[in-house]
Structure formats: C-alpha cells, structure tokens
Amino acid sequence: MEKDFVFHNPTKIYFGRHAMTHLKDELENYGENILLAYGGGSIKKNGIYDEVIKALKETNKNIIEFSGIMPNPTLNKMLEGVELVKKHHIDLILAVGGGSVIDLAKGVAVSTYASGDAFERYWLNKEAVDNECVPVGAILTMAGTGSEMNGGSVITDEDRKIKVGRVFGSYNYPKFSILNPLFTLTVPRYQMLSGIFDAFSHLMEQYFSDTDNSVTDYLLESLMRALIDAADVAIEDKDNYEARSNIMWISTLALNTLTGLGKSQDWEVHAIEHQISAYTDCAHGMGLAAISPAYYRYIYPFGIDKFKRFAVNVFKIDAEGKSDEELALAGIDALEDFIVTHAMPNSLKKLGVPRELLSKIADSAALGGGYKKLTREDVYAILYNAYERK
Ligand code: NZQ
Ligand code: ZN
C-alpha cells in the first residue's frame, strides 16, 4: 500500500428486502420538515413513493415535495432545491432515486447555507466547504453510481455545457442509505446496463494506476469478476434476487472509497464522459462504455503489466503463447466483447454522438490520467478512435 490513507465512511447502510422497515427509526432522528426529493415519477409507478409517504406520515413529518430531478441533474434544478430548503427550514433531505437524485440532494445540502456562488466555489474552484450542510438520507432505486455511500455530487451547468463532479468529505455523505435490491426490478434494461457499466468503470478507474501489488488491486479484481458474473445472470433472469443484490452491493463498494485506498487512481474516462454527457445528455454508464475500449487501447503501453494482469485475473484469458502486448490487448478485447454482448454501445456513433461534437468535447474535458497524462490532442485521438466500431 504505497500511499497513507484515512478511511472514514459515516453512511449507515440498511441492506436487503426488509431495509425499508428502518426508515421510521431513522426519521425520528430529524426535525419535522422533510424535503422529499425524487425524479421523473418512476417511484409513483412502482409503489416506493407510497411506502415512503406512509413512513413520513406515521412519524408526523411535514412533507415538502421536490420532484422532477432529471438524469444528469442541472444547476438550475439545484438552485430550485436550495430555495425550497430555505423557505421551509428543511431538517432532512430525503433523496429517493438513483445517482442523479442523490447527487442533486447532496448539491442542495452543501449549497443552501454557502456564502457566494456555491457552484463556482465548490464545484469549479474546489474550495473547502466552510458552511453547515443539511443532512441527506437516501433510498436507492437504481444501482450504479455509488452516490448512496460517498460524497460525490455531479452537476451539469446546462447553459455553459459543463458537467462537474465534486467529491465532498464525510460531512456531506448520506447519513443513512436504504438499499433494497427489489426496488431495482423496475429499472428499464438500458438503465440497468448503464448502472452496471458505471460500477465496472469505477473499478477500472481505480485499478489502472500504480505498479505495486496492493490489496486494493486484489479487491478490485474480485469485484470486477463478481460484477461480470452477476451481470450475466441478471440480464438473462431479470428477477434473480441474488444477482440483483450482488450488483447493488458491488456498485456501492465500487465507489465508497474502500476500493481506492492506498493507491493512485485514474478517472480520465469519467472526465471525458462528463463532457460527452454535457453535450448530449446521454446515460452516464453508456457514455463510459462507448469510450472505454478506445481509451484503454490508447494508454495500455504505459501500464502494460497491469493490463496483462487484468486479462488473466478479470477476464480469465489464457496467457500461454501470447506476447505481453497480445495478452494486454486480449483483455481489452474481452472488455469490448462484454459491452457488445450486452448490447451496450461500443462507439460514440452507436451512442448517437454527432461527429461535429468531438472537437468541443476534447476542448472541454478535464485533463488527467493514470498511466498516461493526457493532452487535449490525446483526448481528441481517443474520441476519434472511439467514434466508429463494428
Ligand atoms: O427519474 P425517475 O423517474 O426516477 O427515473 C430514473 C431515470 O430516468 C430511472 N430509474 C431509477 N430507478 C428506477 C428507475 N426507473 C424505474 N424503476 C426504478 N427503480 O432511471 C433513470 C436514470 O436515473 P439516474 O439517477 O440518472 O441514474 P444513475 O443512478 O446512473 O445516476 C447518474 C448520475 O450520477 C452521476 C452521473 O454523472 C449522472 O449524473 N454520477 C455520480 C457519482 C457519484 N455521486 O459518486 C459517480 C458516477 O461516476 C456518476 O458520475
Ligand atoms: Zn461513474
């Protein structure tokens, strides 16, 4: 473990079929004014809304609804939430949804009592937070982002076409998160796949960096293997509880900071995807799938040992008779096969991105990287290579 670390994750997790039975006890810890934050209405169709309202009424809460939080949540929507929290003296923001709803709730939580322009200060300039945050509780309805157990909040400024993630400290993690895998049964297939690839990408972003043999890398390999297995089952057998529950918990572990401890990380695929999404509003995980094979083919020579290990330990490729290069590339080919087999887009064209946007995306994507620090021209080359694939 090359790097020192502090590990403190304060989110209390209630996991399983009966996880919702704990909601009332949790609500007792907060005052009476609850901002009920949710998305476009899926929770009304699948009955989760009714369950939440029942618990809120039984604990005598004032319910202030904050609905219509969109995928890739926007700055304007966040400011709408800030006004509601101020007006109604909110004691708890209860976020019911996927990563977008939870991210926006955390955004509102940290922005409401900020002095000045919170988006400018906290997201763009990454300033230290110097104000109180409103507590957030989460009820997760879709697996993928890990937002239920981390401080991440990704917000899109739709006017300036920038999507920016800020990772806040433990002061802005959900206080509690309720994870019932059965809630994910109504997630449309496309969204489920998007969540699966998002979690897989989080694991790869943490894995492809450094050359040592840290326990974190072993953990990442196990979770990648487990996710491939669970995804194969869940896609075929939509109602398989074990597969669904594994996907939900792997996604949470994949980004609750545990799987990044003691090592450096990459996150360039996410940096590029965020700008693809800022311009096209694509589903986050699908944007990641579309560029990942091209990105890894571009950078593998700079970290070839880890790519060989990925091929053998994650995709079970037989190393016998293969050169280093052939083995590394076979792992990336297997990743692309995983994408294609499950009908995810393996190119920007399949994702529906107009070719004219490549240059703008390359101009605006944040530059970083794990094995290779990228320039704007590198990013453009990756986008170009990712544009069209069979
Ligand atoms: O809006 P509703 O009606 O709820 O429908 C949602 C939405 O249309 C639907 N959905 C969710 N649960 C459902 C369901 N439909 C039926 N039944 C259910 N049980 O799914 C659609 C997508 O939801 P969304 O919350 O947007 O998906 P996801 O969880 O993938 O979140 C994506 C956002 O999270 C950010 C992404 O950039 C993106 O903005 N991320 C957040 C991270 C973090 N906080 O750490 C890290 C990630 O890398 C990611 O960047
Ligand atoms: Zn992600």
Mutate-to-test residue for ligand 1 from 186, 191, 203, 204, highest number of ligand atoms within 8 A of CB:
191
Mean pLDDT score across all residues of the chain:
97
Ligand 1 atom nearest to CA at 198: 48
For residue 41, the ligand 1 atom closest to its alpha carbon is 3
Cβ of 287 closer than 6 Å to ligand 1, yes or no, is: no
Q: Ligand 1 in contact with 183 (CB < 6 A)?
A: yes
Residue 75: predicted pLDDT: 98
Confidence of residue 378 (pLDDT cuts 50, 70, 90): very high
User: Residue 390's pLDDT is what?
Assistant: 84
**In this structure, are residues 236 and 287 in contact, taking their beta carbons and an 8 Å threshold?**
no
Average pLDDT for 281-309: 98
CATH node for 12-183:
3.40.50.1970
Average pLDDT over residues 42-51: 98
- Residue 73, sorted as left (phi over 0), alpha (psi -120 to 50) or beta, turns out to be beta
* Domain extent listing, the chain: 12-183, 189-387
- Mean pLDDT within 226-239: 94
8 pLDDT exceeds 90? yes
Does the beta carbon of 100 lie inside 6 Å of ligand 1? yes
The position carrying tokens 């976020």 is 95
Residue type, 214: S
Q: What is the pLDDT of residue 143?
A: 98
Assess whether pLDDT exceeds 90 at residue 112: yes
Q: Is the pLDDT of residue 238 over 90?
A: no
For atom 36 of ligand 1, the residue with the nearest CA is 284
- Is the predicted pLDDT of residue 2 greater than 90, yes or no? no
How confident is the model over 125-157, as pLDDT tens digits?
Answer: 999 999 999 999 999 999 999 999 999 999 999
Ligand 1 touching residue 151 (CB < 6 A) = no
Given ligand 1 and candidates 103, 139, 203, which is best to mutate, with the most ligand atoms within 8 Å of its CB?
A: 103
Q: Compute, in angstroms, the gap from residue 199 CA to the centroid of ligand 2.
A: 7
**30-44, 58-72, 211-225: least confident range:** 211-225
Residue 107 in contact with ligand 1 by CB distance below 6 A: no
| Mean pLDDT, rounded, for 349-374 | 96
For residue 313, the cross-strand partners are: none
Residue 333 near residue 373, CB atoms below 8 Å: no
Ligand 1 in contact with 303 (CB < 6 A)? no
Q: From the CB of 313, is ligand 1 less than 6 Å away?
A: no
The confidence score (pLDDT) of residue 202 equals 98
**What is the pLDDT, as a whole number, of residue 213?**
78
pLDDT band at 211 (very low <50, low <70, confident <90, very high): confident
User: For a pocket test of ligand 1, which of 247, 284, 291 has the largest count of ligand atoms closer than 8 A to its C-beta?
Assistant: 284
CB 145 near ligand 1, within 6 Å: yes
Tokens of 281: 């509003």
How far apart are the CA of 101 and the centre of ligand 1, in A? 7
Ligand 1 atom at minimal distance to the Cα of residue 195: 30
Ligand 1 near 154 CB (within 6 A): yes
Q: Does domain 189-387 have CATH number 1.10.540.10?
A: no
